[in-house]
């Protein structure tokens, strides 16, 4: 939602023409709101929202065909910048909870008067403004010139970092003809090679063993493997006990060199704030913080954000990726955002069958099932990554975060 502009654009989705007319009449009393489209069922609403990019959608919950809940869920994935306000006759808490879990920002219970309507609309806009003020205006303000390092991080393990890392790298490779390198910094239990059906014959341990001073472009390249889909990869150690060989200093050196050879370096990490992970985060232009909607994940994510804030990380470069969003979220999205004090940038749907098939086959799902909702939601992240313009390349080149430099100083 681009709430800074004076006019708020709105789309009405309701199967009753009478209701649409009533809403339009009510809305004419507010000069700042402009109705830019109408839809009479869920499918049409999803399509028109994707076309017209309204700031807000007033969505009736009961519609023939695709209902308001399903349409809200689809809009949250396809058009996350359009906020949905659900309209229902049913006052039951459970029903509203489902609407919020589906991605709605607010709800209105029929019958409502114009005061209530405007209050609700203003509420959504105000909350959005508060969130927006704490982050930058553009969808992704990071500087992703060639040679950018993008890290996936989570304070709690098993939330989907590796699955997303492989799919984001593969999707970018599909979208542009670029050199992409995946680095597996889950040093004890990394499995990126397996996710790409690759038998790792050389790993980051081979690079580390030669000693920091001897690591150069040639040596590094001779230890990089290439997967069937053309992605380059520096696999994790084959055994957990080799992890200690790979020191933060080695990682810093490797990342410095890779930036000069590859257009995008996607780094998968382990769930910790150990030196190796911090070395990568320190040099990243963008951190994708992956988390689930369950209480434990939210608690740890909140703690991790607190640590990053207190260490002066540039928080607009930390993007929030809620994985398996609709399977687990039982709290309102707004409440989660309020709790985390951070906007959720991306919601990735859960699809266990698709994910497991892809893991078992060792083939990224963005390649095998590009039209799935899951693949489409991953594509949105990649589109944002690719459209980013550089504003301060020198700062980014020398690494955004001073944390690691200070620690190892």
Ligand X SMILES: Nc1ncnc2c1ncn2[C@@H]1O[C@H](COP(=O)(O)OP(=O)(O)OP(=O)(O)O)[C@@H](O)[C@H]1O
Tokens 């994708």 -> residue: 288
Distance between CA 226 and CA 229 in Å, rounded? 8
How is the beta sheet containing 286-291 ordered, strand by strand? 225-226, 232-234, 180-185, 264-269, 148-153, 286-291, 318-323, 346-348
Taking CB under 5 A as the binding criterion, the range among 78-86, 156-164, 199-207, 343-351 that sits at the site for Mg ion is 156-164
Does 151 sit near Mg ion (CB under 5 A)? Answer: no
The DSSP code for 7 is -
Least Å distance between CB 159 and ligand X? 4
Does 362 sit near ligand X (CB under 6 A)? Answer: no
Distance between CA 46 and CA 50 in Å, rounded? 6
Least Å distance between CB 161 and Mg ion? 5
Distance between CA 58 and CA 150 in Å, rounded? 36
Residues β-bridged to residue 153: 289
Residues β-bridged to residue 180: 264
* Binding-residue pattern over the window 164 to 203 for Mg ion, x denoting contact by CB under 5 A: ----------------------x-----------------
Does 162 sit near Mg ion (CB under 5 A)? Answer: yes
Distance between CA 152 and CA 203 in Å, rounded? 19
Does 161 sit near ligand X (CB under 6 A)? Answer: yes
Tokens 């990019």 -> residue: 53
Does 41 sit near ligand X (CB under 6 A)? Answer: no
- Toward ligand X, which CB reaches closer, 28 or 330? 330
Helix/strand/coil for 363: coil
Does 323 sit near Mg ion (CB under 5 A)? Answer: no
- Near ligand X in 374-403, by CB under 6 A: 374
- Near ligand X in 133-152, by CB under 6 A: none
Within a 10 A sphere around the Cβ of 303, how many other Cβ atoms? 12
Query: Which residue from 14, 351, 373, 384 is in contact with ligand X, where contact means CB under 6 A?
Result: 351
Does 352 sit near ligand X (CB under 6 A)? Answer: yes
Does 93 sit near ligand X (CB under 6 A)? Answer: no
Tokens 């980013």 -> residue: 388
Does 347 sit near ligand X (CB under 6 A)? Answer: no
Taking CB under 6 A as the binding criterion, the range among 154-162, 221-229, 311-319, 333-341 that sits at the site for ligand X is 154-162
Distance between CA 117 and CA 271 in Å, rounded? 44
Does 240 sit near ligand X (CB under 6 A)? Answer: no
Write out the residues near ligand X by the rule CB under 6 A: 154, 157-163, 186, 271, 323-324, 348, 350-352, 355-356, 359, 374
């Amino acid at each position: 939602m681009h709430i800074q502009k004076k006019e708020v654009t709105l789309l009405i989705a309701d199967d009753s023409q009478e209701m649409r007319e009533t809403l339009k009449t009510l809305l004419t009393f507010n000069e700042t709101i402009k109705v830019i489209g109408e839809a009479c069922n869920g499918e049409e609403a999803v399509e028109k929202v994707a076309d017209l990019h309204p700031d807000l959608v007033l969505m009736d919950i009961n519609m023939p065909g695709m209902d308001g809940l399903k349409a809200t869920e689809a809009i949250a994935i396809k058009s996350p910048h359009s906020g949905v306000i659900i309209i229902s006759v049913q006052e039951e808490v459970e029903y509203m909870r489902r609407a919020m879990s589906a991605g709605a920002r607010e709800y209105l219970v029929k019958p409502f008067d114009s005061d209530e309507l405007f209050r609700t609309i203003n509420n959504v806009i105000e909350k959005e403004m508060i969130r927006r003020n704490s982050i930058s205006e553009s969808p992704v303000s990071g500087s992703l010139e060639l040679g950018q390092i993008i890290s996936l991080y989570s304070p709690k393990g098993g939330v989907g970092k590796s699955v997303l890392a492989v799919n984001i790298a593969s999707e970018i490779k599909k979208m542009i003809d670029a050199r992409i390198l995946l680095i597996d910094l889950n040093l004890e239990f990394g499995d990126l090679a397996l996710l790409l059906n690759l038998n790792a014959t050389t790993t980051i341990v081979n690079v580390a063993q030669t000693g920091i001073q001897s690591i150069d472009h040639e040596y590094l390249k001779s230890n990089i493997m290439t997967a069937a889909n053309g992605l380059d990869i520096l696999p994790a150690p084959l055994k957990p006990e080799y992890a200690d060989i790979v020191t933060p200093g080695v990682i810093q050196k490797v990342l410095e060199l890779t930036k000069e050879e590859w257009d995008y370096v996607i780094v998968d990490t382990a769930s910790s704030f150990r030196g190796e992970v911090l070395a990568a985060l320190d040099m990243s232009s963008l951190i994708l913080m992956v988390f689930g909607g369950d209480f434990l994940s939210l608690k740890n994510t909140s703690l991790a954000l607190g640590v990053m804030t207190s260490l002066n990380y540039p928080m607009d470069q930390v993007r929030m990726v809620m994985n398996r969003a609709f399977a687990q979220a039982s709290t309102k999205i707004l409440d989660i955002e309020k709790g985390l004090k951070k906007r959720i940038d991306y919601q990735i749907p859960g699809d266990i069958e698709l994910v497991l098939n892809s893991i078992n086959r060792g083939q990224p799902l963005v390649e095998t099932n590009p039209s799935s909702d899951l693949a489409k939601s991953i594509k949105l992240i990649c589109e944002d990554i690719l459209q980013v313009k550089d504003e301060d390349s020198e700062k980014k080149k020398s690494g955004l975060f001073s944390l690691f430099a200070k620690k190892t100083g």
